Amino acid sequence: MAEANVVLNNPMQPASREQELIGRVQRGENELFYELVKPYERRVYAAALAILRNDADAEDVAQEAMLKALRGIRQFRAEARFSTWLIQITVNEALMRRRRERNGIMEAIDDQRDQDGEYTPRDFADWREIPSEALEREEVRQKLAQALASLDRKYREVFVLRDMEQLNIQETAEALGISIAAVKTRLLRARLMLRDLLAGGWEQGWFSRLPFAKGTKPW
């Protein structure tokens, strides 16, 4: 059906186009760089925000990271994923910014708080089908963002890079400069804590109190 093909065969940025853009920018057509990075601009911002927790700093770091990527694009190797390379540059830039601004003091304090032991998930009623339509609601996104923001830095960073930025475990470890074992432990903890925070909210009804169609839950 032609209608379905409109949806299926209309990639926003097919891999071949991305490869072509990378090659052309590497050969000096810098004016194409924004087209190359545009599909990832939101993810770059989110990665910076996860580390800096400040809108203005995150935006500034996102811009700096993009400029750094442009200057270093000849070092990008085709066997890597461009989006991952970009996110790693961003994380590095954000970590450097944080170290510079905190002058290392807070880092040392934070690093002592490593509570990576056992975690017992709370016992809630089933939270079965994913309430994906609920994401259109500003209130729901705010609740999710608040839950994420309430996590300790080390859990939040790992969760954002793995589950929002879609880096794999090893890429997350490399980006943050921590071990693979630490990534796995923190990821487990982050996911379970978020589940507890959100399943609890669901059970208490803040999802279902939102103005969906009368009489039916959207999930």
Partner 1 sequence: MVNDKPVNCELVWREISNYLEGDIDATLHSAMDGHFRTCSRCRSVLEGTQNVIQLFGDERMIEVPSGYSRRLERRLTQSVRAPGRSWSPWSAWLVPVAALLLITGGVRIASSRTVAHPLLSEHAQPAHGIPSDMVVVVSAGAKEFHVRGCEFIHNKDNERTLTAKEAVQQGYVPCVRCMRKYLLTANAGRTALELEADSQIDSEEPRSGGGG
Residue positions counted in the chain? 219
> Min. distance of Cβ 59 from partner 1 in angstroms?
6
Residue number, 106 or 135, with CB nearest to partner 1:
135
Query: Please, which of residues 19-38 interact with partner 1 by CB under 8 A?
Result: 30-31, 33-34, 37-38
Task: State the Cα–Cα distance between residues 212 and 134, nearest whole angstrom.
Answer: 9
Packing angle, helices 82-102 and 55-71, rounded to 10: 130
Q: Answer whether 170's CB lies under 8 Å from 160's CB.
A: no
Which among 39-47, 72-80, 94-102, 108-116 is the span making contact with partner 1, rule CB under 8 A? 39-47
Show Cβ contacts of residue 185 under 8 Å, excluding neighbours closer than 6 positions: 116
Query: Please, which of residues 157-176 interact with partner 1 by CB under 8 A?
Result: 159, 163-164, 166, 168-170
By C-alpha distance, which of 95, 47, 86 is closest to 68? Answer: 86
Q: Answer whether 163's CB lies under 8 Å from 191's CB.
A: yes
201 sits near partner 1 (criterion: CB under 8 A): no
Residue number, 5 or 115, with CB nearest to partner 1:
5
Show Cβ contacts of residue 132 under 8 Å, excluding neighbours closer than 6 positions: 219
Which one of 24, 107, 116, 184 is in contact with partner 1 (CB under 8 A)?
Answer: 184
Query: Please, which of residues 42-71 interact with partner 1 by CB under 8 A?
Result: 42-43, 45-46, 55, 59, 62-63, 66-67, 70
Query: Please, which of residues 86-145 interact with partner 1 by CB under 8 A?
Result: 118-121, 123-133, 135-136, 141, 144-145
End-to-end CA distance of the chain: 29
> Min. distance of Cβ 180 from partner 1 in angstroms?
5
Residues touching partner 1, count (CB under 8 A): 73
Residue number, 92 or 131, with CB nearest to partner 1:
131
Which one of 12, 105, 108, 213 is in contact with partner 1 (CB under 8 A)?
Answer: 12
Task: State the Cα–Cα distance between residues 120 and 132, nearest whole angstrom.
Answer: 26
